[in-house]
Structure 1
Amino acid sequence: MRPIAYALLIACCLTAAGAQAGVKSVVKVETYSIAGNSGDALMAEMDRNGPRHGFLARAIAQTRYSVDWDRTWLVSNGRCRLMKADVTLKVNYRYPALSGEAPPALKKRWRKFVAGVRKHEQMHGRLARRMADEAYDAAFRVTVDDDRFCRKAKAEVTQIVHAIYADYEARQQRFDAIEHQPGGPVERLVQRLTRRR
């Protein structure tokens, strides 16, 4: 069983500009080329050329994402709250792409394999979107009295947002654990691709 990996990258930026616009998504899809005349050959190509998963391993595909924040704070009567925020979720998918000629039966199996891989990776993307939406909503619920410089409010928002990120990181890992278990969806995808008939 080969892993399909995701990576979590988080970057938060505080500024005093921007309009409150909810969470915007920017999605980028990249591919890397593989070739072969059998399912085993294609798997070997993915093992050699797939995106890195850790220091040594390679993955079939990968989902990376980052969340960027631009925030404006409001102080009224000593009370601080978040007034405006632009939140951008950037999702980058990387998939294998079949190049060159391949037997028709293998092409058919490949199309089904890639569809399954995309379904898996897009679930990682949906979880990332839910994470960003939940963090955005939670940030606007924070109001702190006696906080003229917004230090307490900023610290509380940061703590809440990081807790939400941690919760969704655990959800991503649980999803992968289910998908990668013996006999699970990922193993079945590989088995169907590499079957001889």
Structure 2
Amino acid sequence: MRVVIFAILVAIGALCGSAAVATADTKLLIKTRTYNITGATGAALVEAMDRNGPKHGFMTRAIADTSYTVRWHLSTSRTDGVCRLRQVDGVLDLTYTYPRLASPAARALERRWKRFFAGVRAHEETHGRIARRMMAATARSIRNLERADNWFCTGTRREARRRINSFYAEYEAKQNAFDAREHRDGGHVEHLVDALIKP
């Protein structure tokens, strides 16, 4: 499950003279959270994840979760009737939530758990990579945006928001397609759970 929050902040500047060179910077912040599970068998661990995992909708829980917030700060300038994005700063704040084995396990179960957890982590980190690609593609799209506009650069800001939302929709579709492949019957997630349960 992914929870995405956007914030777009626009600073309006009325710079005169030569146009400023547009700059773009994206920052990545990563946090990792865990929830504890215990159990003497693979099936017991799966049941513990079903009870304690991050919420996925109203009634179900996920094994793990990738959530993120996206913030954009866009500074505009206007010269000779043309508005330009002078500075584009984006922040992607990623939070991963994983299960943590909170009690000692038998050696065979611990080996299966480590393989299972490596697969879960790889899945969630793929969601993180897709989000990072979204940020990079969005920054490339808007960093050189310019257009004839009014004193308030209304159309320029509107076009920046449109592009940001368009890239979000495109990459959210990629996130959903990845989840659909991974969670389908007989897919990677099912294999991970089966390998954890079966000795």
- The bucket for the TM-score relative to the shorter chain is over 0.9
TM superposition shift of 1:159: 0.6
Which residue number in structure 2 is paired with residue 110 of structure 1?
A: 113
| Matched-pair contact (CA < 8 Å) for 2:76–2:83 | yes
What corresponds to 2:4 in structure 1?
8
> What stretches of structure 1 move > 4 A for 4+ residues in a row?
none
Residues 12 and 152, structure 2, Cα contact 8 Å, conserved in 1: no
2:188 to 179, 185, 191: 185
Per the normalisation by structure 1, the TM-score is 0.92
Partner Cα distance (1:171, 1:128) in 2: 10
Give structure 1 stretches of 5+ with no counterpart: none
TM-score w.r.t. the length of structure 2 is 0.91
Please give the per-residue CA displacement for 1:94-114, whole angstroms capped at 9, x wherever unaligned: 000001121110000000100
Measure how far apart 1:145 and its partner are: 1.0
Distance (Å, rounded) in 2 between the aligned partners of 1:49 and 1:11: 30
> For residues 79-90 of structure 1, what are the structure 2 equivalents within 5 Å?
79-90=82-93
> Which digits, 9 at most, give the CA deviation of each residue in 1:112-165, with x for residues without a partner?
100000000000000000101111111123211143320000001101110110
> Does the CA-based 8 Å contact 1:9-1:64 persist in structure 2?
no
Matched letter for residue 153 of structure 1: T
Gaps of 5+ in 2: 14-21
Tell me the distance in 2 between the aligned counterparts of 1:153 and 1:14: 10
Question: 1:69, 1:88 within 8 Å by CA — same for their partners in 2?
Answer: yes
The answer to whether the aligner puts 1:55 opposite 2:58 as a matched pair is: yes
- Residue 76 of structure 2 contacts residue 84 of structure 2 at CA under 8 Å; is this kept in 1? yes
CA contact (8 A) 1:16 1:70 kept: no
2:100 match: 97
Tell me by how many angstroms 1:43 deviates: 0.4
* 2:70 paired residue number: 67
1:165 aligns with 2:161: no
Determine the C-alpha separation between the residues in 2 that align with 1:160 and 1:98.
42
Give the letter aligned to residue 138 of structure 1.
S
Q: How does 1:38-53 map to 2 (within 5 A)?
A: 38-53=41-56
Contact preservation (8 Å) 1:10, 1:65: no
SS in 2 for 1:149: coil
Number of residue pairs the alignment of both structures matches: 191
Identity value in percent: 42
Q: Is the 8 A contact 1:7 1:62 kept in 2?
A: no
Aligned pairs for 1:22-33 (under 5 A) are 22-33=25-36
Query: Residue 53 of structure 1: CA displacement?
Result: 0.4
Q: Give the CA deviation at 1:20.
A: 4.1
Q: Aligned-pair RMSD on alpha carbons?
A: 1.5
Structure 2 match to 1:141? 144
- Partners of 1:6 and 1:111 lie apart in 2 by 24
